[in-house]
Amino acid sequence: MRVPTADPLAPVTPPGVQADGAGDVWPDPDGWQSVVAAVRTALPEHRYAQDELTELIGDLCLAPGADRTVLRRLHGAAGVRTRHLALPLDQYAALEDFGQTNAAWMAAGLELGERALTCALEAAGLTPPDVDLVVCTSITGIAAPSLDARLASRMGMRPDVKRIPVFGLGCVAGAAGLARLHDYLRGHQGEVAALLSVELCSLTLQQRDDSPANLVAGALFGDGAAAVVAHAARAADHRSGRPAVVATRSLLYPDTEHLLGWTIGAGGFRPVVDAAIPDVVGARIGPDLRDFLAVHGLDPDDIGTWICHPGGPRILTAVAHALDLPDGALESAHRALAVSGNMSSASVLRILEDVTTNAPPSPGSWGLMMAMGPGFCVEFVLLRW
């Protein structure tokens, strides 16, 4: 099954699309939107309670006999109850260098990525040869050929499938990836685009590293993959009840590069997580999001569904306060954090799947996806059901 093609003589910029002068676009009733045909998540089979992981991380990261009071306090305050890991608990101590952890990322990532993308395509009523573009993102491992290249052959995609492997966006890549699908589909209205996120955060844990950043990451992050399949549709014809991307905005904040990311060395990816991140979020998210929504004649009160990256309890609190959100507005993010931890870029896609399949918003209602990542940066995606 293929999406009906647009007029081949139509301009590359979709008809009816207007620009606001700030890099945003949105369709009028005769324009185009990007419809999320399906989103699916794949989680590793190894699932553990938070207190089990606390003691494992203590064994791996702390010196023998070290006091674990601070570690246990961090894990208790993380808002996480369970997490899925790429490997069984007893295999992590045997990972002695980056080569071994990256090999584990490759093996588990291919399996989870294939499962997520296969399930998303099946849910959309499509097959691998229907995919015209695949964007693949991960910040927890590296490969050349990339995961998408390996999966294209493994899954039976066409030889002329277009691929965009992405590294470096981190937690923001779920929202940013969906935004880039939207950018592509605006100019390729008869095509199918897929986003695949594979994040195996447990494989980046640094052994014998008791730094605050490593311990915080060890308290929050989990493993998983997620895939989105999307196509373009005229706004006037969008009656499916599925979410459609209406507009997006990317923001990169100057002089904040030090707040979040990796220090990459012989041991692999050493986390950088600055305690000032919630302060930056609290100060910037409110004005910037209100400005974005105002372009479209909206304000936060008009948003019925919030899909926010679950960066941690302090991040979610900062977002809620900055936007004056009512109690429960970010419940989907808190729930995702509790059951699977922070899965980096896959988290907002998992929340989108949860919202879409378990409690579908009313047709015509507005949604807002947001995520933050290294840079320091933020991505807003305006959705409508």
For strands 260-265 and 244-252, give the pairing: unpaired
Q: Which class for 262: exposed (0-12), middle (13-18), buried (19 or more C-beta within 10 A)?
A: middle
Closest CA to 272 of 257, 284, 283, 255: 257
d(CA 180, CA 176): 6
Determine phi and psi for 52, rounding to 5 degrees: -65, -45
d(CA 274, CA 60): 22
| Residues assigned a catalytic role | 171
Counting DSSP H helices and E strands in the chain, the numbers are: 10, 15
CA dihedral 64, 70, 73, 77 (to 10 degrees): -120
Report the DSSP beta bridge partners of residue 382.
247, 368
Helix axes 69-76, 212-220, angle to 10 degrees: 40
Task: Give the H or E element holding residue 319.
Answer: helix 313-323
Closest CA to 352 of 378, 381, 377: 381
Report the DSSP beta bridge partners of residue 133.
162, 193
d(CA 112, CA 86): 9
Report the DSSP beta bridge partners of residue 296.
none
Closest CA to 41 of 286, 373, 347: 347
Residues 354/334, Cβ–Cβ less than 8 Å? no
278: tokens are 């919630």
